[in-house]
Copies of this chain bind each other. A is one copy, B any other.
Amino acid sequence: MELVFMIPLAGLAAVFYAAYLAWDVLRRDPGTPEMQEVAGMIFEGAMAFLKRQYTTIAIFALITAVAIAIIVGAVSDGVKDIIKEGSGGNITIGYSPNAVVDHWEEGVLTGIAFLVGAAASALAGYIGMFIAVRSNSRTASAATRSLKEAITVALRGGAVSGFLVVALSLLGVSTIFFIYSAVLGNPDAIAPFLIVGFGFGASFVALFAQLGGGIYTKAADVGADLVGKVEAGIPEDDPRNAAVVADLVGDNVGDCAGRGADLFESMSAENIGAMILGVAIYTVTQDVEWIIFPLVLRSFGVFATMAGLTSVPFFASDDPNQNPMTPLNYGYYIVCALSVVGLLIVMLGDEWYWFFFCGLVGIATGIAFVYITQYYTSGAWRPVRDIAEASRTGPATNIIIGTAVGLETTAATAITIGIALVASFALGSEADIPGVGGFTTGVFGTAVATMGMLMSAAYILAMDTFGPITDNAGGITEFSGAPESARHITDSLDSVGNTTKALTKGFAVASAGLAAFLLFSAYLDKVKERLNVPLNKELPIDISDVDVFAGGLLGAMLVFLFSSFAIRAVGNAASKIIEEVRRQFREDPGIMAGTSRPDYARAVDITASAALREMIAPGVLAVGMPIVVGLIFRYVRGDNDGWLAVAGLLMIGTITGILLATFFNNVGGAWDNAKKYIEAGNLKTESANPGAVEVLGKGTDAHKAAVVGDTVGDPFKDTAGPSLHVLIKLLSTITLVMAPLFIP
């Protein structure tokens, strides 16, 4: 395929572009000495946490890699080549009689791929966060000068992370594919099955990174708020609160490192899944483009994103009252438009237009989610206003109406994903490739849609990391006593940051929803290989089979139980922080008087330890339960029931996970913005006499009620919700890698 050169080109271009952006951000004014001092504390805290977190994850990952190598090596039959049999209208895609990759070699290669995926994910998170925590004081400093400069710095800082994540995924997957096929001399058709470990490694790190980071950030946030705002009555980000630095550190480790790992694994796992689906078509057509197509498409996405990002400053005006969302939206449209062009260039087969339409469906889905999320979580529309109104009668009605709004948001999500899946499947199945059935091209169509959507991933991720950078910049401005005008700019950026963070979550859910179907099909392809069912034949997973149904019930339950663990973890960790801040207030009265400084480092340290301890239980549950269910059903019920129960668990766990994650993300965002809506003075007393109308702003009972909602939403939207995205994809990758355990 002539466009294959695009892959290394785009990967390297992304690295260089990220390096340029990093250089550009770092050369800027790091702000006043006070700003630099706070930024320094945040930097130290964030890096220290990341180091400890990655050390823990590295140990788990090493053990898991060895376990994978041993388990796959011991139970697999090795990998057979995939070959075309028959001709004309009667083609079946079967397997060679003997394995071309020995089972121990398969185990070792899978284990190595797992480690490479895990390391790449960790590296992307580390470097991205390194730049992000260097950008915050520079954004704060820029805010003392102009909105335009502040947007530019924050977005470029965020884009470093975005581009590195994309580059490492692109280069990582393509390199390991190249090595496992060409270098080791394995057939192209089986290489995608050998590199599934890469996706598992990526999701493994993502799970713990998101859990640890999510628990850290929200435990610090909830703890700081409860002990500061509620108990001591001091404002947010007040330097007298010992937990305030931990809170600022949390924004980075949760939103920045966590979400980076999340999207890294989306891109990697969904890429590999799409490659596996391409194998059937490749076997018939013998064009390797069907396998590496996702990588090529993503390469064009890199260039589209570069153009979009570069354009943002041109749309930003010097008016400090411009809505910062406007230039970001324009940039996003440019990315989408150029992605369409990219889709047109990467033509596949004679009937390429069907797949082109599938790609359009994916891009449109991404745009739809950007609007759905904004509608449900921004103060400009009914949902958030309803919650703000309900705050008049106290915290209970705020929570009740908020819950109703959150549950309602799943409708738009499910309908959009449903339409996207059915449409891309229907379009794909129209493509007539002789010897390949409509079912196979249909599933491939959903893969193209997923890839189309992910073309803008680097841009979305840049906007996401924009969130913690501006949040931190606001904190630094407050903390360092910068002028009011700078605070005005960072407040406006911070509010946009909340929206962009919500968008990213919507985007991640949508990509997980689209990808669920393709990753499930990849799992079935793996099952087919082991059961010797031709790749282009359907292998029905009958939901009226009791094992599939029971597996599905357990899969849905896993999603609920995992969320319970994640939310409780935040509660547990927050209580440790509350105790510490209380202790500091009690033991040193000078802190409250403002004459002595609290011990920020100790609070940071306690938060880190608590978060690392609390991430273990949900992490182990997520990794362990699919395996345990598969083994129990296989050995208690029968040989064929293990993989069936796992299929049910995977599929119904995914559906439930998409909806529950949507609920958690959106309800949390809506509660947060209902609070901001009230703080902005939009809620007024009701009175027939216009002169007697008063603003129900900060400090009123309505505001206190909204703060309760906001606090409840914190672990929902920043711990449980994002961890669920990762869980969904982890279920797919773990079942792909561990499939031989469940199949006779």
Contact = CB atoms under 8 A, between A and B. Distances in A.
A226 B513 CA distance: 40
A183 interface: no
B564 A405 contact: yes
A502 interface: no
Interface stretch (A394-402, A587-595, A676-684): A394-402
B553 A658 contact: yes
A442 interface: yes
Interface stretch (A107-115, A242-250, A645-653): A645-653
A390 interface: yes
B544 A404 contact: no
Nearest to A538: B542
Given A400-B570, A540-B542, A567-B400, A394 B708 contact: yes
A400 B652 contact: no
A544 B395 CA distance: 43
Contact of A575 (B393, B543, B548): B393
Interface string A406-422: 11101101110110011
Contacts of A272: none
Given A549-B651, A637-B422, A651-B549, A564 B404 contact: yes
Nearest to A429: B546
Interface string A547-572: 11110111011001101110110110
A656 interface: yes
Contacts of A647: 543-544
Contacts of A128: none
A399 B399 contact: yes
Contacts of A264: none
A442 B545 CA distance: 10
Nearest to A662: B560
Contacts of A575: 393
A407 B578 contact: no
B401 A648 contact: no
Interface in A366-404: 390, 393-397, 399-401, 403-404
A41 interface: no
Contact of A571 (B400, B408, B659): B400
A578 B521 CA distance: 53
A228 to B, nearest CB: 12
Contacts of A637: 422, 426
Contacts of A425: 546
A684 B222 CA distance: 23
B411 A546 contact: no
A517 interface: yes
A417 B399 CA distance: 31
A404 B394 CA distance: 22
A574 B400 CA distance: 11
Nearest to A413: B557
B548 A543 contact: yes
B544 A520 contact: yes
A349 to B, nearest CB: 21
Contact of A543 (B414, B541, B564, B715): B541
A399 B568 CA distance: 11
A444 to B, nearest CB: 12
Contact of A715 (B390, B400, B549, B557): B400
Interface string A481-525: 000000000000000000000000000000001000100110010
A518 to B, nearest CB: 11
A541 B652 CA distance: 14
Contacts of A548: 543
B418 A554 contact: yes
Contacts of A513: 553
A546 B393 CA distance: 45
A613 to B, nearest CB: 16
Contacts of A348: none
A396 B538 contact: no
B524 A408 contact: no
B410 A561 contact: yes
A655 interface: yes
A663 interface: yes
A550 B418 contact: yes
Contacts of A421: 546, 549-550, 553
A262 to B, nearest CB: 21
A711 interface: yes
B553 A417 contact: yes
A536 to B, nearest CB: 14
A712 interface: yes
Interface in A626-672: 637, 647-648, 651-652, 655-656, 658-659, 663
Nearest to A397: B571
B659 A226 contact: no
Given A401-B568, A556-B655, A540 B544 contact: yes
The 8 closest A-B pairs by CB, nearest first: A414-B557, A407-B564, A396-B711, A540-B542, A404-B568, A408-B564, A425-B546, A418-B550
7 contacts: A393-B575, A395-B708, A403-B567, A414-B556, A541-B544, A542-B542, A656-B656
Given A405-B564, A421-B553, 10 more contacts: A395-B708, A396-B708, A397-B711, A400-B567, A404-B571, A414-B553, A414-B557, A418-B553, A549-B655, A556-B656
Interface of A: 222, 226, 230, 390, 393-397, 399-401, 403-408, 410-411, 413-415, 417-418, 421-422, 425-426, 442, 446, 513, 517, 520-521, 524, 538-550, 552-554, 556-557, 560-561, 563-565, 567-568, 570-571, 574-575, 578, 637, 647-648, 651-652, 655-656, 658-659, 663, 707-708, 711-712, 715-716
